[in-house]
Amino acid sequence: MLTRGSNRKVDYDKEINNTDYQVVLTGNPNVGKSTVFNAITGMKQHTGNWTGKTVECASGRAKINDKVFSFIDLPGTYSILSFSKEEAVAADYLMHNETDCAIIVIDANVIERNLSFALQILSIVKNAVLCLNLCDQAKKNGIIIDTEELAKNLGIPVIATCATKCNGLEELEQTVYDICVGNIKCFHIDELFKNIDISHKDKYKENAELFKKQSIRICKKCVTYNKSELNRNTRRLDKILTSKSTGIPIMLLLFAFLFWITAIGANYPSMWLSNGFEWLKEQLYIFMDFVNAPEFLRGILIDGVYTTLTWVISVMLPPMAIFFPLFSLLEDSGYLPRIAFNLDKFFAKCGAHGKQSLTMAMGIGCNACGVTGCRIIESPQERLIAVLTNNFMPCNGRFPMLIAIIMMFFAGTSMTFGSSVLTAVILLAIIAFCVIVTLIVSKILSLTLAKGTQSSFALELPPYRKPQILRTIVRSFLDRTIFVLGRAVAVAAPAGALIWILANVYVNDCSLLSYCTEFLDPFGKFIGLDGTIIMAFILGFPANETVIPVIIMSYMASGTLMEYSGYDQLLTLFTANGWTITTAICIIIMCIMHYPCSTTVLTIKKETKSLKWTLVSMILPTVIGIILCMITANVMRLFL
């Protein structure tokens, strides 16, 4: 019987010492290892870093029958040959720590390759159980595995599971218990390892081929491959989606479609939220009048903090609530690894990692999420490059500004089908430009600040799956949308107060905001902008969504953030203040190439644990944006 405790903070070493047995979970990435770990330990878990390492680890406790077990979730690795930091940590732990049992989690769909890794583990540990996960999908794919014959050949118990449905997990728990208390004896057949020298870790490189041959030999005895319609469909799709001629064009069309849905779909909920917040704002005014609140307090709380917060929520929430679930559905369907496969050769030439393409795609939803997603890149050098360049991908907070500028100056202000399609195409072209800049900057970083040895790239191409739509949408909304929105709101509140103070505190009949914009105006015009736009970007550091409202407020000298009622009125206001096609192009450049928002900066600091790299991540895009704006403005002045 398995019992679970409530979530709490624990001391990692103390937790292990106070348990009866210690069990480690190990396996390749994307085999369901963490799902197994979460199911066994429930809420009684602790996450931290390995001592002296930046590699994250998870530990947990569970009571099985009458004994208390500690479970250590080792980093997912493709090998224990120490190609990456995670692999080095996993191999080092297994070689130098006594464990009572190891749960080796493998994917039944790719058993031959995963079994080679399992044999590596068996050459180190004494007691183990093989968790043959994703057996339901393997059966659909026409893969029949004789678990009894497999157990006989390995000399350890083999348990078939489907962790997402909790099938087989009780039998796995009982098997772990029986191994630890001595009810089951594990015996590794000497023939498996008679030619393998494990006296030193480096010897594994000489024996990798032997593990592979042993895996093939065992699979011939235990595994039957039947023809499967799913296998045929996967191969057919891969011929199209990973083809040199069609893979990238299809990817671009797919993302253009996602952008179009996000841009069009977010309009209505944004409008509803905005109207709802405006109604509530009027009620707050009435309440402030009722309690005779001072004008200053009313201004800073309602016109400053409240207005900024509601702008961020109404502009930021709908695109995230649309884009993140769509992105997660692509992830669950098995398509995202194909994107990394298609783009890997370009990133490899730039000294970067193919998985960086996935983190860039996440950055389109939110740069903070994109930076966090860089954890999937094993090499520290390539992970750093991905972190430093993620901000070159415009997040959803910058999309409203980009869409507004595109529609006013390039696609037309009417919300027709043709206008929306042209907007999506131009937006896709901007994203393509951002990708090119990212590749160039990645190459420069790989040769200078982030110089190092390029890692190998082992990429899993999982079978296509039917996404669990409702579960994916809920998980994406809670784990990504609400989490990122919460961070944005936390930094937007003080920013709203600061903006209101600058706009409403006067010195010699001129607001502090006006002094700032006048001071920045010569520099702004030199790079194709003006002082108001530069100041709006500075004040938009907590949240990019406030840039356009600050510009409107400054031009109208209203002293409070303003909402525009339509692109026509906004275009009239901007052109009256000197905006031209040159201004529009330069503001697009500056929008996609300036320092990250405060939420992303905090995330970068947390991920890199370095003030130096955090500052580099802010300075790098800003300097590039200023240089490109300066070149664009001065070139266009020669022809216009």
User: What mean pLDDT do residues 625-639 have?
Assistant: 91
Which is higher by pLDDT, 483 or 609?
A: 609
pLDDT at position 619, please? 95
Whole-number pLDDT of residue 43: 54
Lowest mean pLDDT among 66-75, 195-204, 451-460, 585-594: 195-204
The string of pLDDT tens digits covering residues 256-283 is 787 778 767 777 787 788 888 889 988 9
Cα-atom radius of gyration of the chain, to the nearest Å? 28
Q: What is the pTM of this model?
A: 0.66
Pairing of strands 67-73, 56-64: antiparallel
pLDDT, position 227 = 65
Q: Which residues contact 241 (CB under 8 A, 6 or more apart)?
A: 247, 250, 335, 338
Write the pLDDT tens digit of every residue in 588-597. 999 999 999 8
Averaged pLDDT, 592-610: 89
Query: For residues 146-157, b (16+ Cβ closer than 10 Å) or e, as one string?
Result: ebeebbebbebb
Q: Give mean pLDDT, residues 336-344.
A: 79
Tokens of 489: 């709101």
Among the ranges given (35-39, 79-83, 462-466), the one the predictor scored with the smallest mean pLDDT: 79-83
Does residue 83 surpass a pLDDT of 80? no
Task: Return the number of other C-beta atoms located less than 10 Å from residue 385's C-beta.
Answer: 29
557 confidence band (pLDDT: 50, 70, 90): low
Task: Give the pLDDT of residue 130.
Answer: 95
Helix (H) or strand (E) holding 607: helix 598-608
Closest C-alpha to 391, from 546, 630, 616, 56: 616
| CA count, 13 A, side-chain hemisphere, 242 | 16
Q: Is the model's pLDDT at 7 over the cut of 50?
A: no
Q: What is the pLDDT of residue 4?
A: 36
User: pLDDT band at residue 598, thresholds of 50, 70 and 90?
Assistant: confident
Pick from 94-98, 417-421, 505-509, 629-633: least confident: 417-421
Mean pLDDT (the chain, rounded): 80
- DSSP per-residue codes, 320-340: HHHHHHHHHHHHHHT-HHHHH
Among 16-30, 292-306, 407-421, 536-550, which is the least confidently predicted range? 407-421
Query: pLDDT over 70 for what percent of the chain?
Result: 83
Lowest mean pLDDT of 207-211, 333-337, 529-533, name the range.
207-211
pLDDT over 60 (residue 458)? no
Considering 303-312, 395-404, 512-521, 622-631, the range whose residues carry the highest mean pLDDT is 622-631
Max intra-chain CA distance, the chain = 91
**Lowest mean pLDDT across 160-164, 339-343, 542-546, 600-604:** 542-546
Whether 175 shows a pLDDT value over 90: the answer reads: yes
CA distances (Å), origin 390, targets 269, 406, 617, 620, 630: 28, 23, 9, 11, 23
The span from the CA of 488 to the CA of 499, in Å, is 16
